[in-house]
Structure 1
Amino acid sequence: MSTRFTDTDPLSPGTHTYRLAGLVQRYHVHGSGPVCVAHSGGPGILWEYLRIPALEEHLTMVYVEPVGTAVDSRLPSHPHGYTRERYSSFLEILIDRLRVPKVHLLGHSHGAFVAAHHALHRSGQLAGVVLYEGAPVTGPEHSAEAGRMVQAFAAKHAGHPGLPGVLAAFGAMATMADDEQTEAVAKGVLPSYFADFWGDEERLAPLRDAVRAVYISGLDEDGTPDIIDDRAALRELAVPALVVVGRHDVICGPRWGLELHELIPGARLLLLENSGHLGHVEEPGLFADGVRRFVLATAAPKDRTA
């Protein structure tokens, strides 16, 4: 892949843009301290929901705009072809251009699958990896567990006037085919992604309303599903790892966080008891403190006082 760099200080605060294989790649820098690259979820959820101000007080946060989430960053095969190997290959070039010996990589939700793949295949770039609301597998087993968790959510909130809309949004996932439908589904399911959305709706509703999403199929260019099973590979992971999971997450819940923790040698676990899928919003202090401690413990010595 050919690249063209447009700035001389790749870690200066603000938005950075360069061309990569004919596409535009953007990333956004906030904060100061050891460098932590953050990859958002979806695939197809735009990066802004993952802003973590509490971490920016201690770390240089580099928020990636994953390719495909902007019109000028779409593959010729869009909405197909966005495998995690492709995301990781784009990450490799972005990290190289930051011009630091090693970075920490934080991946949320689908971004955690990307981060795990990157740590397994491009470990030389990483001082550590944060798998935030991830899982070791996708496919039928993961879907069945998510279905069980959604049923438990429905039982817990039976009779709430907002519940039918959430369940309808989950039902619409299977028929998403364009950006408008994808964003509607993302906003529709979001109440279930919190431990208690309706109990804190005044604060959380603006975040739901601000979510932006585009349709990405989850298929490779040839129509092959990007099915994941990292169980065997993660037993050999040599990169220091922190697993973060919310007790009430319906999509990548405690079962998967505990399994990741058990699979990865020496992994640390941060279980957020009062969070769902978005612990950086629900328990920002605990989340930031756990990630900060992990980064500083695994950073190069010169970075540990930051």
Structure 2
Amino acid sequence: MSTTPSTDPLATGTHTVEIDGVTQSYHVHGSGPVLVAHSGGPGIFWEYLRMPALEEHLTVVYPEPIGTGASGRLPAHPHGYTRARYSRFLAALIEHLGVPEVHLLGHSHGGFVAQYHALHHPDRIAGVILYDSAPVTGPEHGAEAMRLVQEFAARNADNPDLPEVIEAFQSIPTISDDAQMTAVARGIFPAYFADFWGRQDEFGPARAGVTATYISGLDDDLTPDVIDDRAALGSLTVPTLVLVGRHDVICGVRWAEELHELIPGSELVIFENSGHFGHLEEPEAFAKAVAAFVEAPAGN
């Protein structure tokens, strides 16, 4: 592992470090205890996860997950981006930061990565925050998401922009390049909020700014990176905070409650006026919940 000539690896700004021959880009903002925030997708560029209200309390490190943005791509791109590989890059990044422990936040697919990392590499993790995540993917997760999207469609049946959102969901299986991935991510964006259209002036710029890389979800040998952590989560020893928006359609309350039940001693916070982006929809409540968890005395 090598790094570009730099000042402090936790100095505010953009940094790069080379891990396994691949460039890992990351961004540092804020001050206070260190929180590493892993964005989702997989393939969504990190900027949507920027959390200014939280940066008032914590030093937030935002990795650009490999395969996205300024970070390098794997030789097998768009394949090979498994949780084990993302976790390997997280471990090397945390070592590079040079602090004894960090808190780790994972949003959406980043939550899948964070729970994997906390299960397999807990030694440098002071606490893990599973933000709009789930213990399982596959048909069961897909069926629940479909049910919640149908509820969203029913609530917004009279909205003239609804067909565009539904069409974007229906096109997900056909994505095969970065342009299609970005178009679909922007297309489905309204469904990921409690009330996107009621706050469109506020959230429209975030939608326009979404950028994504196509990541296949397959390993190098083209096998799916299937997730089912339900049997393992009972052995998770890292302090855990589970966060979810009441109106999240993709990783809804059902999954947050299941994570909370499976993980010993975990805390659960539900943001009643949020969908999949509580840090945008209820930023102060989000920052308060995360900061309180990070700053809690050990053992509490």
TM-score by length of 2: 0.98
Task: Please tell me the residue identity of whatever aligns with 1:266.
Answer: G
Taking the aligned partners of 2:273 and 2:34, their CA distance within structure 1 comes to 28
Which residue of 2 is the match for residue 303 of structure 1? none
Output aligned runs, 1:135-284, within 5 Å.
135-284=134-283
Q: Is the 8 A contact 1:6 1:17 kept in 2?
A: no
TM-superposed CA distance for 1:71, in Å, is: 6.3
Which residue of 1 is the match for residue 288 of structure 2? 289
Which secondary structure state, in structure 2, belongs to the residue aligned with residue 80 of structure 1? coil
Task: Please tell me the residue identity of whatever aligns with 1:188.
Answer: G
Deviates most, 69-78 or 224-233? 69-78
Taking the aligned partners of 1:36 and 1:221, their CA distance within structure 2 comes to 30
Output aligned runs, 1:73-92, within 5 Å.
73-92=72-91
Task: Please tell me the residue identity of whatever aligns with 2:139.
Answer: P
Taking the aligned partners of 2:81 and 2:6, their CA distance within structure 1 comes to 27
TM-superposed CA distance for 1:6, in Å, is: 3.0
Q: Deviations over 1:225-249 (max 9, x none)?
A: 0110000110110000000000000
Which residue of 2 is the match for residue 121 of structure 1? 120
TM-superposed CA distance for 1:24, in Å, is: 1.1
Which residue of 2 is the match for residue 7 of structure 1? 6
Taking the aligned partners of 2:242 and 2:40, their CA distance within structure 1 comes to 16
Identity %: 64
TM-superposed CA distance for 1:190, in Å, is: 0.3
Taking the aligned partners of 1:263 and 1:72, their CA distance within structure 2 comes to 34
The answer to whether the aligner puts 1:111 opposite 2:76 as a matched pair is no
Taking the aligned partners of 2:72 and 2:52, their CA distance within structure 1 comes to 26
Structure 1 residues 297 and 143: alpha-carbon distance in aligned structure 2, compared to 1, 3 A threshold: same
Task: Please tell me the residue identity of whatever aligns with 1:67.
Answer: I
TM-superposed CA distance for 1:23, in Å, is: 1.5
Taking the aligned partners of 1:299 and 1:56, their CA distance within structure 2 comes to 21
Q: Is the 8 A contact 1:169 1:185 kept in 2?
A: yes
Which residue of 2 is the match for residue 55 of structure 1? 54
Which secondary structure state, in structure 1, belongs to the residue aligned with residue 24 of structure 2? strand
TM-score by length of 1: 0.96
Q: Is the 8 A contact 2:64 2:70 kept in 1?
A: no
Taking the aligned partners of 2:183 and 2:145, their CA distance within structure 1 comes to 19
Taking the aligned partners of 2:7 and 2:191, their CA distance within structure 1 comes to 43
Q: Is the 8 A contact 2:43 2:215 kept in 1?
A: yes
Structure 1 residues 14 and 4: alpha-carbon distance in aligned structure 2, compared to 1, 3 A threshold: closer
Taking the aligned partners of 1:298 and 1:119, their CA distance within structure 2 comes to 19
TM-superposed CA distance for 1:8, in Å, is: 4.1
Taking the aligned partners of 1:210 and 1:222, their CA distance within structure 2 comes to 33
Taking the aligned partners of 2:163 and 2:83, their CA distance within structure 1 comes to 33
Structure 1 residues 298 and 116: alpha-carbon distance in aligned structure 2, compared to 1, 3 A threshold: farther
TM-superposed CA distance for 1:298, in Å, is: 4.9
Which residue of 2 is the match for residue 100 of structure 1? 99
Structure 1 residues 276 and 72: alpha-carbon distance in aligned structure 2, compared to 1, 3 A threshold: closer
TM-superposed CA distance for 1:7, in Å, is: 2.2
Q: Which runs of 5+ in 1 are unaligned?
A: 301-306
Structure 1 residues 210 and 298: alpha-carbon distance in aligned structure 2, compared to 1, 3 A threshold: farther
Task: Please tell me the residue identity of whatever aligns with 1:133.
Answer: D
Deviates most, 120-129 or 14-23? 14-23
Number of residue-to-residue matches in the alignment: 300
Taking the aligned partners of 2:275 and 2:56, their CA distance within structure 1 comes to 24
Taking the aligned partners of 2:282 and 2:138, their CA distance within structure 1 comes to 29
Taking the aligned partners of 1:217 and 1:259, their CA distance within structure 2 comes to 27
Taking the aligned partners of 2:226 and 2:16, their CA distance within structure 1 comes to 31
Taking the aligned partners of 1:157 and 1:119, their CA distance within structure 2 comes to 38
Task: Please tell me the residue identity of whatever aligns with 2:136.
Answer: V
Which residue of 1 is the match for residue 17 of structure 2? 18
Q: Deviations over 1:151-191 (max 9, x none)?
A: 00011111210100000000110000000000000000000
Which secondary structure state, in structure 2, belongs to the residue aligned with residue 231 of structure 1? coil
